[in-house]
Structure 1
Amino acid sequence: MMQSPQRTMGKNLHFIIIPPPFQGHINPSIQLTLKLASKGFTITFVNTHSTHDKITKTCDDDVFAGARESGLDIRYRTISDGFPLTFDRSLNREQFLEGRLHVYPAHVDELVGQLSGSDHPPTCLVVDTFSTWGSNIAWKYGLVYVSFWVQPALALTVYYHHELLKKNGHYGCTDTRKDTIDYIPGVRFLEPTDLISFFQETDTSTAMHRLIQKAFADVKNADIIICNTMEELEPEAISVLKEKQTVYTIGPLFPSQFTDQSVEMDLWPDSDCSRWLDSKPPGSVLYASFGSYAHSNKEDIRAIADGIMVSGVSFIWVLRPGVVNCEAVDYFPDGFHEIVGNIGLVVPWCKQKMVLSHSAVGGYLTHCGWNSILESIWVGVPLICFPLLGDQTINRKLVVDDWKIGINLCEGKFVSGDQVAERIKLVMNRETSHVLKKNIEQVRKTLENAVGSNGTSRVNFENFVDDVQARSFAKN
């Protein structure tokens, strides 16, 4: 039986997907890979040598082996980021970002060139929006260029219009304005302290700021932008972006079974907390984690430890290696381990979805990474917000001010143990928790509806695929 022209064309599509080397970007890219491969497309997923080296120390070499055995055509490649494996990319961020700007693109270009000369050449290049080279490489090899945004649309809108912040004196000035920001399209208002952390910095000559300039000029050349969010969750920001470019919201990008971690990548070995959690009453445990990349300081970590100790709440606290940018090995207050030894666990890493979805967990002290927020909403766990870097400050606004599904850990930048203890007790309190969970349930319904059979994210994903097919056909 003859296939339709669209189906025949679809089977020939070959996507290259290249995430940056950060876990919060890699795992949504993995879920996108699986969704596209399940439609019969060929996917080449690209990690850096350094990321691959970390992953192979925590899980199997081939994270896509199971998917490939089920018949999905997923190829896996690694390339150099320009630095040796022993180079600490997190502690030497400025040097690493310089490499991302000036060295890494050449390695990507070389790989895409090799693939373009293969028997099944690529037709579409999907790169993270923070990449600065997507349009040049896509144009060079005649590929459809898709920019993949893994943070909320609110953050994308602010980045997209960051020149307005400069023009109005809220960013890039020696004496920045401190009044409310009410002129960004699709954003009702922001306080300067809500801005993405990079826009609150006074030194705008750094590699990060130059990367932002290049990346958000480049994204405006993208054929398509896809976002790991939902139209109903952020309608105003999405509407404004759609006026500028072709945008599809396709989130939330979770595994088909929420707690299924078999096709995700962890950069550190996991600790199994399930048996310990099984021994705790429902809603009695605080989960604390500050993500896979951002750093804190030993003073804040000590204050949080003091607050956890004073609160008396059972807890699991993920403190990954290097989360504190100092040489101190033990930055806990005196007596911490003895006092909390029977009620808490401090672990280097864990399977977050499995912990969050456990009935014993009643609150989440979080850095406000977007994936963490979506996961917490999905399982109905209220948040205590402690943003550290990047979009986390503006994500906090969504959680606390707009959706009212969490509270701030502290007011201002000073963290005190007494305030931490008070905030933990507040969010773990049955009455407060009930109000927050009621609000979370409303937001969760938005997520569920978006990925339902006729949901906007599901429909948008199909439209995105059709759009790529049409554009690929036109280019060839």
Structure 2
Amino acid sequence: MEENSTQKHTNNHAIICPLHLQGHINPFTKLSLNLASKGVTVTFLIFEHVQQEITKASGCNSNNPFEALSQGSNLVGDIRYRVISDGLPLDYDRSGRLMEYLHWFMVGGLYDQVENAIGNIVLESRPKVNVLIFDTFYPWASKLAKRFGLRCASFWTEPATVFSLYYHVHLLRQHGHFDCPDNRKDPIDYIPGVNSIEPKDLISYLQDKDTSTNMHKLLFQAFQDVRLVDYVLCNTVQELEPHTISTLQTLLPFYPIGPILLSGPTKTRIPTSLWAESDCSEWLQSKSPGSVLYVSFGSLANFSKNDVMEIAYGLRDSHVDFIWVLRPRTVLDETSDVLPLGFEDEVRGRGTILPWTDQIMVLSHPATGGFLTHCGWNSILESIWYEVPMLCFPVFTDQITNRKLVVDDWNIGVNLCKESTIQRVEIAAQIKSFMNQKPREELKKNIRVKRNMLQNALEADGSSQKYVNKFIEELSK
């Protein structure tokens, strides 16, 4: 992807702060590179516990990992790297004690920690800071910007369709489709800019019966706060979700600037992975083109041990070559091996199981013919970019709505299972059918159309480049 760096702005300085999750760190990193290539000074905030995990995974102990790129021609600009504490001990289990941590996130000491860090940066930095770019899930970003007299941009790392559903949650309440004793089950056809959608295709948090959890409170607060920001940047493309985006743009300054992808040779990449990456390139090289199914359920989703067992048996009985990324803590209560006894011996040669790997490398490899995915938005964009059809198995949050876009609206993927309970026989049959060359031809034909949309958006005169330039011009006024 070529960066358009013909127009330089030297008086803008953005403080950028991602959520501490892998699927947010990656696009925020690339956004920083994009803005820096156009002359925006960037101060990238990373929490100490996240930096510790990245350092452990990569072995890179740089005070500023962006500096590695500045030695070549990939980065023209100024990116500063600031490691800050979230106010909790490094060994605090943020995932295992999620609801407790969310309270700290919303009304505890996290705001104070970030406020102090930004105060110091604002005081000492030149050029002067003029904008905060915070993850939309921070429920106090606009308050923080107002505190220091800065403009505020909210960066939404999921599709515009999901943003619109959250933004209009009050309409779901009013019409009885959410947060009611007996939610309606008929199609939802009143959300501005969103085509008719079944309740079963809503984000998981908008299907929950209990809406009093800290997660729900966070979501509700975040989407109240987003109404107060100056700009919303979104990791999508105008042509990919045209009706939704044009409708949102009548409500707030909504800039689709995607796809935000981490790409390029490994040696020039910024270390962002929270887990050490296993290299499977040699194994892939031994396989014929389009023969391998890549299986990964992302950085956050959790399964029961039984589900993992059924997936394993389904992969075994499909007789398809596969790479399966089985992330640590995929099963939260794992006390023993989560795979069937003898499974790795049974699939040796045609299947390899890794704790984590470089997804870009796998998807871009000619041997990879399909992606069994949880439908995380980053994974979907990467699949489109590398023209790999998807076999969809969403687990929770936006993945459920993303599946609808992939399968029902765009026809670039198919469902793994019809029911929520998964069984090895159905998994094996679906994988066999999906990896047959003929069914994938139609999917690949459709995915090329979407891929061209992404490519065109990133050209110098493309929609996403225009929105990035417009955002920078707005900051310069």
Q: Same fold (TM over 0.5)?
A: yes
Question: In the alignment, is residue 109 of structure 1 matched against residue 109 of structure 2?
Answer: no
2:155–2:233 CA contact under 8 A, matched in 1: yes
- Cα distance change on mapping 1:258 and 1:169 into 2, 3 Å: farther
Q: Is the 8 A contact 1:132 1:214 kept in 2?
A: yes
Decide which of 141, 164, 168 is 1:161's aligned counterpart: 168
Work out the CA distance in 2 between the residues paired with 1:282 and 1:251. Answer: 29
**Amino acid corresponding to residue 41 of structure 1 in structure 2:** V
Q: Distance in 1 between matches of 2:100 and 2:419?
A: 30
Measured on the aligned residues, the alpha-carbon RMSD in Å equals: 1.5
Distance 2:25 2:415 in 1: 28
Q: What's 1:395 paired with?
A: 402
The CA deviation string for residues 419-466 of structure 1, in whole angstroms up to 9 with x for no partner, is 111111111001101111111111111111111221111111111110
Does 1:84 find its partner at 2:83?
no
Amino acid paired to 2:159? P
Length, aligned pairs only: 463
Contiguous gaps of at least 5 residues in structure 2: 1-6
The match for 1:449 among 435, 456, 462 is 456
Structure 1 residues 334-413: aligned runs within 5 Å: 334-413=341-420
Per the alignment, in what secondary structure is the counterpart of residue 418 of structure 2? Answer: coil
Q: Which amino acid aligns with 2:395?
A: L
**Which residues in structure 2 correspond to 1:90-129 (within 5 Å)?**
90-102=95-107, 103-120=109-126, 121-129=128-136
For structure 1, the residue ranges without an aligned partner over 5 or more in a row are 1-6, 471-476
Map of 1:174 onto structure 2: 181
Match of 2:36 in 1: 37
1:91 positional shift: 2.2
2:200 paired residue among 166, 188, 193: 193
Distance in 2, matches of 1:104 and 1:40, equals 30
CA offsets, 1:164-202, max 9 Å, x none? Answer: 111111111221111111111111111111000111111
Are 1:46 and 1:77, in contact at CA under 8 Å, matched by a contact in 2? yes
Encode CA deviations 1:19-69: one digit per residue, 9 max, x unaligned: 000111111111111111112221100011111010001221332122344
Q: Does 2:66 correspond to 1:67?
A: no
Tell me the residue number matched to 2:22.
23
| Corresponding residue number in structure 1 for 2:338 | 331
For 1:442 and 1:81, the matched residues in 2 are separated by 43
The question of whether the paired residues in 1 share the 8 Å contact of 2:154 and 2:231 is answered with: yes
Query: How has the CA–CA distance of structure 1 residues 258 and 231 changed in structure 2, closer, same or farther, with 3 Å as cutoff?
Result: farther
C-alpha distance in structure 2 between counterparts of 1:382 and 1:40, whole Å: 37
Distance in 2 between residues matched to 1:256 and 1:269, nearest whole Å: 18
Other-structure match for 1:4: none
User: Secondary structure at 2:249's aligned position in 1?
Assistant: helix
Cα distance change, pair 328–112 in 1 and its aligned pair in 2 (3 A): same
1:344 partner amino acid: G
Alignment correspondent of 1:432? 439
The answer to which of 115-124 and 128-137 deviates more is 115-124
> Which residue type is aligned with residue 64 of structure 1?
F
Distance 1:362 1:259, change over 3 A: farther
2:250 is aligned with 1:243: yes
TM-score (norm: length of structure 1): 0.95
State the one-letter code of the partner of 1:330.
Answer: D
Q: Which residue of 2 aligns with 1:474?
A: none
CA contact (8 A) 1:258 1:353 kept: no
1:319 to 310, 326, 334: 326
What is the CA distance between 1:260 and its match in structure 2?
7.0
Runs of 4+ aligned residues of structure 1 deviating over 6 Å after TM superposition are 258-261
- 8 Å Cα contact 2:25/2:272 also seen in 1: yes
> Structure 1 residues 261, 234: CA separation in 2 closer, same or farther (over 3 Å shift)?
farther
Query: Which amino acid in the other structure matches residue 194 of structure 1?
Result: D
Contact kept? 2:27, 2:262, Cα under 8 Å? no
Percent of residue pairs identical: 47
Q: Which amino acid aligns with 1:90?
A: S
> Are the equivalent residues in 1 in contact too, given 2:26–2:262 (CA < 8 A)?
no
Segment of structure 1 superposing worse, 68-77 or 358-367: 68-77
Q: Following superposition of structure 1 onto structure 2, how do residues 217-232 of structure 1 map, counting pairs within 5 Å? A: 217-232=224-239
> Which deviations, in whole Å up to 9, do the C-alpha atoms of 1:342-378 show, x marking residues without a partner?
2111100000000011011111011100000000011
Rate the CA distance shift 1:259–1:193 in 2: closer, same or farther, 3 A: farther
SS of the residue corresponding to residue 26 of structure 2 reads helix
Structure 2 counterpart of 1:125, which letter?
Answer: L
Query: Aligned letter for 1:73?
Result: D
The residue type equivalent to 2:87 in the other structure is: G
Secondary structure of the corresponding residue to residue 124 of structure 2: coil
Deviates more, 1:109-118 or 1:70-79: 70-79
Matched-pair contact (CA < 8 Å) for 1:450–1:457: yes
In structure 2, distance between residues paired with 1:342 and 1:124: 52
Letter in 2 for 1:139: K
C-alpha deviation, 1:261, in angstroms: 6.2
Cα deviations by residue, 1:116-155 (Å, 9 ceiling, x for unpaired) = 2114231110001111111111011011100101100000
